[in-house]
Amino acid sequence: MKHKVIVVALALSATPFGYRAVEACGDKLLLVGRGVRFQRAYAALHPANILIYAKPTTNSDKAIRDAQFHKSLRRAGHHVSVIEDSTLFDQALRLTSIDIILADLAEAPVIDAQIAAASSHPKVLYVEYPNAGNRVLATQFACELKAGDRATRFLDKIDAEMKARSPRASAAK
């Protein structure tokens, strides 16, 4: 009996020295200096061809013309093009495949007329700017994005539109 007590006591006292923490999946990302960088964590499931139509005369410098915004779209996996001229915009609609168009809400009546002739049937996401006085246009064209929104809000809307355009979503309808 004394021998069994000694063996059990030795086994219990040796356990903390032989113990090693087992990490679960994803715990390695929490260690400092390892894992995915925060900027690279957002990746689009459905990459889009995005055309940004921003005339130099409009007040779109704050949002859709911002170079950091374009960089975040590209990091997410989207292909981004910026056009400032209306004739180039019309040519791009006719000749290239475009999934999403980001444009100033003030341009909505002109853009909607041009979209009808586009072969790729792009979805237009209009951006409303503060103090632009476009309340009537915002309700008429279902404007859900604002110039002050973060890039993640734009990315969420783009991903939702691309998910709706995917073949699986079309087959489910």
Q: Which helix H or strand E contains 165, and what residues bound it? A: helix 151-165
Q: What is the pTM of this model?
A: 0.69
Beta carbons of 126 and 141 less than 8 angstroms apart: yes
Task: Please report, as a single letter, which amino acid is at residue 62.
Answer: K
pLDDT in tens, 145-162: 877 788 888 888 989 999
Look at residue 23 in the predicted model and tell me its pLDDT: 59
* Length in residues, the chain: 173
For 96, other C-beta atoms within 10 Å of its C-beta total 14
- Does residue 173 surpass a pLDDT of 80? no
Q: What is the pLDDT of residues 49-87, one digit of tens each?
A: 999 998 776 554 567 888 888 888 899 899 999 998 888
Segment 2-29, tens digit of pLDDT: 777 777 776 766 655 555 555 556 555 5
Q: Which of 110, 104, 154 is nearest to 134 (CA)?
A: 104
- Domain 44-172: assigned CATH number: 3.40.50.2300
Between these two residues, 137 and 64, which has the higher pLDDT value? 64
Domain ranges of the chain: 44-172
